[in-house]
Amino acid sequence: MAKSVLVTGGAHRLGALICRQFAQAGWAVWCHYQQSAEVAKALCDELCQQGWQARSVQADLSDEAQRQRMMDEIVSQAGPLHCLVNNASSFDPDSADKLNINAARTQLDVNLLAPLSLSSLMAQSLPAHSPAGARSIIHVLDQKVFNLNPDYFSYTVSKLALERSVALQAQALSPRLRVCGVAPGLIYLSGPQSQANFDRACQVNLMRQATEPLQVAASCLFLAENPCITGVTLAVDNGQHLVPLPRDVMFVVEDLLKAAQ
């Protein structure tokens, strides 16, 4: 029987690439979506037509009952997961001085509490004597956790907390589960960013070139298949986390573009 993986936010962008990487490596993929039913189904149909295994599953990750229902559905149909990739994120701008508590709570629910909850539900579903190192949880983070600036305040706080949980969960859930993080750099247009801004911002790193999203997805698969790695976060960002900036790179580049006009 193929190993199984649940990828949250699997219908679009990086999530879809992660689904493809795992499926093409022979894993049975569960592609989670909240509202993108048609896109998720199309991705799974495409993978199945290529001879791989993929099914879509819906849940609002901010709702504990729906998280529980989703995990119960997966376990009842395919048994306990071998890997959980917490990729889904809420990424909305805010600041420390003008904090909207309701909006901040939404980001904390999706970016922090949902991954922790799904991790716990996965652990509870495992057999008592699961082989050490065979199953894993991977949290998709952000290079911002190593390269602080105050923009996107609630998002950053949620990812910082999730990054700190990597080691704590690795300790708490061993030996049945390994826990790792992947921290990408800028790989897609985000928020109000223009293409011109992205083209310049994605090269603000030590390698002075864009980070390929496919390499981020491949890193998730690598961590899932290496039984000796746990409790660490891998930065996949061409060294962006080693280039400190006073603000988010998008805003720094925007100021430079305006100055050049």
Q: Could you tell me the CA-to-CA distances from 105 to 109, 157, 161 in Å, in that order?
A: 6, 11, 14
- Residue 95 in any domain: the answer is yes
| CA-closest candidate to residue 255, choices 151, 114, 128 | 151
Half-sphere exposure of 228 (CA within 13 A, CB side): 0
This prediction's pTM: 0.96
- Residue 201 in any domain: the answer is no
What residues of the chain score a pLDDT lower than 70? 257, 260-261
- Residue 152 in any domain: the answer is yes
Q: What CATH code is carried by the domain that includes residue 226?
A: 3.40.50.720
Gap between the Cα atoms of 18 and 217, Å rounded: 5
- Residue 203 in any domain: the answer is no
- Residue 191 in any domain: the answer is no
Q: Could you tell me the CA-to-CA distances from 26 to 2, 20, 128, 156 in Å, in that order?
A: 7, 10, 26, 34
- Residue 228 in any domain: the answer is yes
How many structural domains does the chain have? 1
- Residue 196 in any domain: the answer is no
Gap between the Cα atoms of 177 and 118, Å rounded: 13
pLDDT of residue 256: 76
Tell me: the pLDDT tens digits for 39-51? 999 999 999 999 9
pLDDT of residue 170: 98
Could you tell me the residue range of the domain that residue 143 belongs to? 4-186+212-237
Look at the alpha carbons of 223, 168, 173, 137 in this order and tell me if their dihedral is positive or negative.
negative
Gap between the Cα atoms of 82 and 135, Å rounded: 5
Rg, the chain, Cα only = 18
- Residue 50 in any domain: the answer is yes
Q: φ and ψ at 239, to 5 degrees? A: 80, 20
pLDDT of residue 252: 87
Burial class of 189 by CB neighbour count within 10 A (0 to 12, 13 to 18, 19+): middle
pLDDT of residue 101: 96
11: which 2 tokens? 């219908």
52: which 2 tokens? 């791989």
